[in-house]
Amino acid sequence: MDPTVPWASVSDALTFAVSCVTDDPDPLNEREAADGHQYVARVLRAVSESALLTFDPARPAFLPMLESVRFLGASGPDIDYDVAMVAPGVAHRVEGRRGGATFVGITVYGYAGASGASSIVASVDVDDIVTADGTFAYDFDHPEAARVIVRQYFHDRATQARGEWTISRTDDAAAQATDDAAITPLPTTAGIAARVDNMAGSLRWNLQLNQLWSPELRATPNRFVRQTPEEIVAAVTNPDVMYAFTWFRIAPGEQLVIEFTPPATHYWALQLCDRWFQCFPDRRSNLNDSQCIVQADGTVRLVVADGDPGDAGPNWLDTSGHRLGILFFRWLHADPEVLPTCTVTQG
Protein backbone atom coordinates (compact mmCIF):
# COMPACT_ATOMS: atom_id res chain seq x y z
CA MET A 1 0.00 0.00 0.00
CA ASP A 2 1.25 3.47 -0.86
CA PRO A 3 1.97 5.09 2.52
CA THR A 4 1.08 8.53 1.16
CA VAL A 5 -2.61 7.55 0.94
CA PRO A 6 -3.96 8.08 4.47
CA TRP A 7 -6.21 5.04 4.88
CA ALA A 8 -5.23 4.92 8.54
CA SER A 9 -7.13 8.17 9.02
CA VAL A 10 -10.32 6.46 7.76
CA SER A 11 -9.75 3.55 10.13
CA ASP A 12 -9.26 5.95 13.02
CA ALA A 13 -12.35 7.93 12.01
CA LEU A 14 -14.43 4.73 11.86
CA THR A 15 -13.28 3.77 15.35
CA PHE A 16 -14.22 7.25 16.52
CA ALA A 17 -17.63 6.98 14.81
CA VAL A 18 -18.47 3.70 16.55
CA SER A 19 -17.39 5.18 19.88
CA CYS A 20 -19.84 8.04 19.37
CA VAL A 21 -22.58 5.40 19.50
CA THR A 22 -21.28 3.00 22.13
CA ASP A 23 -19.96 5.71 24.47
CA ASP A 24 -22.92 8.07 24.30
CA PRO A 25 -23.51 9.56 27.76
CA ASP A 26 -27.13 8.34 27.85
CA PRO A 27 -28.02 4.63 27.97
CA LEU A 28 -29.06 2.91 24.73
CA ASN A 29 -32.00 0.57 24.46
CA GLU A 30 -32.07 -2.07 21.72
CA ARG A 31 -33.72 0.19 19.13
CA GLU A 32 -31.38 3.10 19.81
CA ALA A 33 -28.27 0.92 19.63
CA ALA A 34 -29.42 -0.66 16.36
CA ASP A 35 -30.18 2.71 14.77
CA GLY A 36 -26.88 4.11 16.04
CA HIS A 37 -24.84 1.39 14.35
CA GLN A 38 -27.00 1.73 11.23
CA TYR A 39 -26.11 5.42 11.27
CA VAL A 40 -22.39 4.65 11.24
CA ALA A 41 -22.92 2.34 8.26
CA ARG A 42 -25.00 4.93 6.40
CA VAL A 43 -22.45 7.68 6.95
CA LEU A 44 -19.60 5.40 5.88
CA ARG A 45 -21.47 4.57 2.68
CA ALA A 46 -22.27 8.22 2.02
CA VAL A 47 -18.72 9.52 2.48
CA SER A 48 -17.33 6.63 0.43
CA GLU A 49 -19.64 7.45 -2.47
CA SER A 50 -18.82 11.13 -2.24
CA ALA A 51 -15.08 10.38 -2.31
CA LEU A 52 -15.48 8.78 -5.73
CA LEU A 53 -17.06 11.91 -7.19
CA THR A 54 -15.30 15.07 -8.30
CA PHE A 55 -15.63 17.92 -5.82
CA ASP A 56 -13.12 20.18 -7.58
CA PRO A 57 -13.22 23.96 -6.93
CA ALA A 58 -11.35 24.49 -10.22
CA ARG A 59 -14.22 22.76 -12.06
CA PRO A 60 -17.29 23.63 -9.99
CA ALA A 61 -20.35 21.46 -10.51
CA PHE A 62 -23.40 20.71 -8.40
CA LEU A 63 -23.61 17.32 -6.72
CA PRO A 64 -27.17 16.43 -5.71
CA MET A 65 -27.28 14.96 -2.24
CA LEU A 66 -27.17 11.23 -2.71
CA GLU A 67 -30.09 9.22 -1.37
CA SER A 68 -27.82 7.71 1.26
CA VAL A 69 -26.92 11.21 2.47
CA ARG A 70 -30.38 12.71 2.37
CA PHE A 71 -31.39 11.78 5.90
CA LEU A 72 -28.02 12.34 7.59
CA GLY A 73 -26.85 15.46 9.41
CA ALA A 74 -30.41 16.65 10.12
CA SER A 75 -31.13 17.07 6.41
CA GLY A 76 -34.83 17.69 5.87
CA PRO A 77 -36.97 15.09 4.06
CA ASP A 78 -38.84 17.97 2.36
CA ILE A 79 -35.58 19.50 1.11
CA ASP A 80 -33.29 18.83 -1.85
CA TYR A 81 -29.70 20.02 -1.53
CA ASP A 82 -27.32 20.58 -4.45
CA VAL A 83 -23.75 21.19 -3.31
CA ALA A 84 -20.69 22.60 -5.10
CA MET A 85 -17.18 23.42 -3.94
CA VAL A 86 -15.79 26.75 -5.18
CA ALA A 87 -12.50 28.59 -5.06
CA PRO A 88 -12.35 31.66 -2.77
CA GLY A 89 -12.03 35.05 -4.42
CA VAL A 90 -13.19 33.76 -7.81
CA ALA A 91 -16.26 35.06 -9.66
CA HIS A 92 -19.01 32.46 -10.15
CA ARG A 93 -22.49 32.33 -11.60
CA VAL A 94 -25.39 30.05 -10.68
CA GLU A 95 -28.09 30.02 -13.35
CA GLY A 96 -31.03 27.90 -14.32
CA ARG A 97 -34.78 27.42 -14.06
CA ARG A 98 -36.53 27.84 -10.72
CA GLY A 99 -39.08 25.02 -11.00
CA GLY A 100 -42.15 24.61 -8.80
CA ALA A 101 -40.74 24.14 -5.29
CA THR A 102 -42.20 26.13 -2.42
CA PHE A 103 -38.83 27.80 -1.86
CA VAL A 104 -35.49 27.93 -3.69
CA GLY A 105 -32.48 29.58 -2.11
CA ILE A 106 -28.75 29.85 -2.79
CA THR A 107 -26.25 30.13 0.05
CA VAL A 108 -22.46 30.55 -0.10
CA TYR A 109 -20.42 29.46 2.93
CA GLY A 110 -16.98 29.93 4.31
CA TYR A 111 -15.84 26.54 5.51
CA ALA A 112 -13.71 25.20 8.35
CA GLY A 113 -13.34 21.53 7.43
CA ALA A 114 -14.20 19.17 10.28
CA SER A 115 -15.81 22.03 12.20
CA GLY A 116 -18.42 22.59 9.49
CA ALA A 117 -19.32 25.95 8.00
CA SER A 118 -17.58 28.95 9.53
CA SER A 119 -19.79 31.69 8.08
CA ILE A 120 -22.55 32.56 5.62
CA VAL A 121 -20.85 34.87 3.14
CA ALA A 122 -23.63 35.40 0.57
CA SER A 123 -27.21 34.28 -0.05
CA VAL A 124 -30.29 34.98 -2.11
CA ASP A 125 -33.91 33.88 -2.22
CA VAL A 126 -34.31 32.94 -5.90
CA ASP A 127 -37.78 34.48 -5.95
CA ASP A 128 -36.04 37.85 -5.63
CA ILE A 129 -34.11 37.36 -8.88
CA VAL A 130 -36.28 35.06 -11.00
CA THR A 131 -37.55 36.45 -14.31
CA ALA A 132 -40.99 36.15 -15.86
CA ASP A 133 -39.97 33.05 -17.82
CA GLY A 134 -38.88 31.23 -14.64
CA THR A 135 -35.12 31.55 -15.16
CA PHE A 136 -32.53 33.24 -12.96
CA ALA A 137 -28.83 34.06 -12.72
CA TYR A 138 -26.89 34.80 -9.52
CA ASP A 139 -23.30 36.07 -9.45
CA PHE A 140 -21.01 35.98 -6.43
CA ASP A 141 -17.36 36.54 -5.65
CA HIS A 142 -16.16 36.40 -2.04
CA PRO A 143 -12.67 35.99 -0.56
CA GLU A 144 -13.91 33.32 1.89
CA ALA A 145 -16.27 31.41 -0.41
CA ALA A 146 -15.72 27.65 -0.23
CA ARG A 147 -19.07 25.90 -0.67
CA VAL A 148 -22.40 26.66 -2.34
CA ILE A 149 -25.70 24.97 -1.58
CA VAL A 150 -28.92 25.41 -3.54
CA ARG A 151 -31.92 24.30 -1.47
CA GLN A 152 -35.42 23.47 -2.62
CA TYR A 153 -38.26 23.09 -0.11
CA PHE A 154 -41.27 21.01 -1.13
CA HIS A 155 -44.69 20.68 0.43
CA ASP A 156 -45.49 17.77 -1.88
CA ARG A 157 -42.81 16.26 -4.12
CA ALA A 158 -45.46 14.44 -6.19
CA THR A 159 -46.98 17.69 -7.47
CA GLN A 160 -44.08 20.17 -7.41
CA ALA A 161 -41.48 20.11 -10.19
CA ARG A 162 -37.80 20.26 -9.30
CA GLY A 163 -35.72 23.16 -10.65
CA GLU A 164 -32.52 22.80 -12.66
CA TRP A 165 -29.31 24.85 -12.52
CA THR A 166 -25.61 24.89 -13.17
CA ILE A 167 -22.62 26.70 -11.69
CA SER A 168 -19.68 28.11 -13.63
CA ARG A 169 -16.68 30.34 -13.15
CA THR A 170 -16.85 33.77 -14.76
CA ASP A 171 -13.35 35.00 -13.91
CA ASP A 172 -10.58 35.60 -16.45
CA ALA A 173 -9.47 31.96 -16.21
CA ALA A 174 -12.98 30.62 -16.81
CA ALA A 175 -12.40 29.78 -20.48
CA GLN A 176 -9.36 27.67 -19.67
CA ALA A 177 -11.20 26.02 -16.79
CA THR A 178 -14.06 25.15 -19.15
CA ASP A 179 -11.65 23.60 -21.62
CA ASP A 180 -9.98 21.63 -18.84
CA ALA A 181 -13.33 20.42 -17.54
CA ALA A 182 -14.00 18.72 -20.87
CA ILE A 183 -11.05 16.42 -20.17
CA THR A 184 -11.50 13.91 -17.37
CA PRO A 185 -8.18 13.92 -15.53
CA LEU A 186 -6.60 10.60 -14.61
CA PRO A 187 -6.38 9.96 -10.87
CA THR A 188 -3.18 10.73 -9.05
CA THR A 189 -1.89 9.47 -5.73
CA ALA A 190 -2.07 12.98 -4.29
CA GLY A 191 -5.64 13.41 -5.51
CA ILE A 192 -6.80 10.08 -4.08
CA ALA A 193 -4.99 10.86 -0.82
CA ALA A 194 -6.95 14.10 -0.55
CA ARG A 195 -10.23 12.28 -1.15
CA VAL A 196 -9.44 9.58 1.38
CA ASP A 197 -8.53 12.20 3.95
CA ASN A 198 -11.80 14.01 3.17
CA MET A 199 -13.67 10.74 3.78
CA ALA A 200 -12.18 10.57 7.27
CA GLY A 201 -13.05 14.19 8.04
CA SER A 202 -16.61 13.83 6.77
CA LEU A 203 -17.13 10.68 8.81
CA ARG A 204 -15.99 12.47 11.96
CA TRP A 205 -18.09 15.56 11.25
CA ASN A 206 -21.32 13.61 10.83
CA LEU A 207 -20.85 11.57 13.99
CA GLN A 208 -19.98 14.59 16.14
CA LEU A 209 -22.76 16.83 14.88
CA ASN A 210 -24.57 16.46 18.19
CA GLN A 211 -21.49 18.04 19.77
CA LEU A 212 -21.50 20.94 17.29
CA TRP A 213 -25.20 21.73 17.46
CA SER A 214 -26.21 22.82 20.99
CA PRO A 215 -24.99 19.85 23.06
CA GLU A 216 -25.55 21.83 26.27
CA LEU A 217 -29.31 21.77 25.68
CA ARG A 218 -29.40 18.01 26.28
CA ALA A 219 -29.46 18.87 30.00
CA THR A 220 -32.77 20.79 29.62
CA PRO A 221 -34.93 18.66 27.28
CA ASN A 222 -38.50 19.28 26.13
CA ARG A 223 -38.05 23.04 25.94
CA PHE A 224 -37.69 24.80 22.59
CA VAL A 225 -35.17 27.59 22.17
CA ARG A 226 -34.87 29.98 19.24
CA GLN A 227 -31.72 29.56 17.11
CA THR A 228 -30.61 31.88 14.33
CA PRO A 229 -28.76 30.54 11.28
CA GLU A 230 -25.64 32.40 12.37
CA GLU A 231 -25.67 30.88 15.86
CA ILE A 232 -25.56 27.33 14.50
CA VAL A 233 -23.77 27.98 11.22
CA ALA A 234 -21.46 24.97 11.78
CA ALA A 235 -24.47 22.83 10.88
CA VAL A 236 -24.60 24.53 7.43
CA THR A 237 -27.85 26.37 8.09
CA ASN A 238 -30.28 28.21 5.81
CA PRO A 239 -30.23 32.01 6.29
CA ASP A 240 -33.86 32.24 5.12
CA VAL A 241 -35.00 30.10 8.05
CA MET A 242 -35.37 30.66 11.78
CA TYR A 243 -34.97 27.53 13.86
CA ALA A 244 -36.53 26.40 17.14
CA PHE A 245 -34.70 23.49 18.73
CA THR A 246 -34.96 21.07 21.63
CA TRP A 247 -33.67 17.72 22.73
CA PHE A 248 -36.62 15.49 23.62
CA ARG A 249 -36.60 12.97 26.45
CA ILE A 250 -39.53 10.69 27.32
CA ALA A 251 -39.86 7.51 29.35
CA PRO A 252 -41.63 4.32 28.20
CA GLY A 253 -45.36 4.95 28.09
CA GLU A 254 -44.96 8.72 27.81
CA GLN A 255 -45.55 11.04 24.89
CA LEU A 256 -44.69 14.67 24.18
CA VAL A 257 -47.45 17.12 23.27
CA ILE A 258 -46.31 20.23 21.37
CA GLU A 259 -48.64 23.22 21.07
CA PHE A 260 -48.10 26.50 19.21
CA THR A 261 -49.56 29.13 16.96
CA PRO A 262 -47.74 29.13 13.60
CA PRO A 263 -46.47 32.49 12.35
CA ALA A 264 -47.42 33.80 8.93
CA THR A 265 -45.15 31.84 6.59
CA HIS A 266 -45.22 29.91 3.32
CA TYR A 267 -43.58 26.91 4.97
CA TRP A 268 -42.88 25.47 8.39
CA ALA A 269 -41.96 21.96 9.43
CA LEU A 270 -41.14 19.95 12.53
CA GLN A 271 -38.44 17.32 12.14
CA LEU A 272 -37.54 14.49 14.51
CA CYS A 273 -34.05 12.99 14.57
CA ASP A 274 -32.32 10.54 16.83
CA ARG A 275 -29.47 11.66 19.10
CA TRP A 276 -27.01 11.55 16.17
CA PHE A 277 -29.16 13.86 13.99
CA GLN A 278 -30.29 10.95 11.83
CA CYS A 279 -33.73 11.25 10.22
CA PHE A 280 -35.62 8.18 9.04
CA PRO A 281 -37.04 8.01 5.50
CA ASP A 282 -39.29 5.03 6.31
CA ARG A 283 -40.81 6.45 9.52
CA ARG A 284 -42.92 9.47 10.48
CA SER A 285 -40.00 11.79 11.19
CA ASN A 286 -41.15 15.04 9.53
CA LEU A 287 -44.34 17.08 9.25
CA ASN A 288 -44.86 20.30 7.29
CA ASP A 289 -47.69 22.83 7.46
CA SER A 290 -49.57 21.31 4.50
CA GLN A 291 -49.77 17.94 6.28
CA CYS A 292 -51.10 19.09 9.66
CA ILE A 293 -54.56 19.88 10.96
CA VAL A 294 -54.91 23.41 12.37
CA GLN A 295 -57.49 24.03 15.10
CA ALA A 296 -60.31 26.53 14.60
CA ASP A 297 -58.48 29.06 16.78
CA GLY A 298 -55.35 28.86 14.60
CA THR A 299 -53.30 26.72 16.99
CA VAL A 300 -51.63 23.42 16.20
CA ARG A 301 -51.24 20.41 18.49
CA LEU A 302 -48.60 17.82 17.58
CA VAL A 303 -47.81 14.58 19.40
CA VAL A 304 -44.43 12.84 19.56
CA ALA A 305 -44.93 9.21 20.55
CA ASP A 306 -43.65 5.66 20.13
CA GLY A 307 -46.14 4.69 17.44
CA ASP A 308 -49.52 6.16 16.49
CA PRO A 309 -51.05 7.76 19.61
CA GLY A 310 -54.50 7.20 18.12
CA ASP A 311 -56.04 10.60 18.84
CA ALA A 312 -53.78 13.02 16.95
CA GLY A 313 -54.97 12.40 13.41
CA PRO A 314 -52.08 13.18 11.04
CA ASN A 315 -50.39 15.41 13.65
CA TRP A 316 -47.87 12.96 15.10
CA LEU A 317 -44.24 11.95 14.80
CA ASP A 318 -42.85 8.52 15.65
CA THR A 319 -39.92 8.07 18.04
CA SER A 320 -39.65 4.42 16.92
CA GLY A 321 -38.58 3.37 20.39
CA HIS A 322 -36.10 6.19 20.98
CA ARG A 323 -36.33 7.84 24.39
CA LEU A 324 -33.89 10.63 23.56
CA GLY A 325 -33.46 12.64 20.39
CA ILE A 326 -33.77 15.94 18.57
CA LEU A 327 -36.75 18.05 17.52
CA PHE A 328 -36.54 21.25 15.54
CA PHE A 329 -38.82 23.58 13.66
CA ARG A 330 -37.93 25.39 10.47
CA TRP A 331 -39.81 28.68 9.98
CA LEU A 332 -39.32 30.10 6.47
CA HIS A 333 -39.02 33.91 6.43
CA ALA A 334 -40.64 34.04 9.86
CA ASP A 335 -39.68 34.40 13.52
CA PRO A 336 -42.50 33.45 15.91
CA GLU A 337 -42.90 35.68 18.95
CA VAL A 338 -43.92 32.74 21.15
CA LEU A 339 -42.12 29.41 20.76
CA PRO A 340 -43.92 26.05 20.88
CA THR A 341 -44.49 24.56 24.33
CA CYS A 342 -43.91 20.92 25.33
CA THR A 343 -45.87 18.84 27.83
CA VAL A 344 -45.02 15.26 28.78
CA THR A 345 -48.16 13.14 29.17
CA GLN A 346 -49.01 9.48 29.61
CA GLY A 347 -49.67 7.73 26.31
How does pLDDT run across 288-297, given as a tens digit for each residue? 999 999 999 9
Query: Which tens digits make up the pLDDT trace of 216-246?
Result: 999 999 999 999 999 988 888 999 999 999 9
pLDDT of residue 183: 60
Query: Which tens digits make up the pLDDT trace of 168-206?
Result: 999 876 655 555 555 667 888 888 888 898 889 889 988
Domain assignment present for residue 146? The answer is no
Residue 279 has pLDDT above 80, yes or no: yes
Structural domain tally of the chain? 1
pLDDT of residue 198: 85
Task: Give the residue numbers spanning the domain of 220.
Answer: 210-346
Per-residue confidence band for 53, with pLDDT thresholds at 50, 70 and 90: low
Interatomic CA distance for residues 140 and 2, integer angstroms: 40
**Edge-to-edge strand list for the sheet holding 300-305:** 316-318, 300-305, 254-260, 341-346
Residue 114 DSSP symbol: G
Domain assignment present for residue 55? The answer is no
Rounded to two decimals, the pTM is 0.91
- Strand-strand pairing, 135-140 and 254-260: unpaired
Domain assignment present for residue 237? The answer is yes
The Cβ of residue 308 has, within 10 Å, a number of other Cβ atoms equal to 12
User: How does the average pLDDT of the chain come out, rounded?
Assistant: 90
Domain assignment present for residue 288? The answer is yes
Per-residue confidence band for 48, with pLDDT thresholds at 50, 70 and 90: confident
Domain assignment present for residue 28? The answer is no
Domain assignment present for residue 265? The answer is yes
Interatomic CA distance for residues 167 and 62, integer angstroms: 7
Domain assignment present for residue 148? The answer is no
Q: Which of 24-38, 49-63, 77-91, 138-152 has the lowest mean pLDDT?
A: 49-63
Q: Is pLDDT larger for residue 330 or for residue 311?
A: 330
The Cβ of residue 197 has, within 10 Å, a number of other Cβ atoms equal to 17
Residue 113 has pLDDT above 80, yes or no: no
Domain assignment present for residue 89? The answer is no
User: 142 with 79: CB under 8 angstroms?
Assistant: no
H or E segment at 9?
helix 7-22
Interatomic CA distance for residues 286 and 200, integer angstroms: 29
Query: Which tens digits make up the pLDDT trace of 264-276?
Result: 999 999 999 999 9
Residue 126 has pLDDT above 90, yes or no: yes
Interatomic CA distance for residues 306 and 249, integer angstroms: 12
Give the CATH number, domain containing residue 262.
2.60.120.600
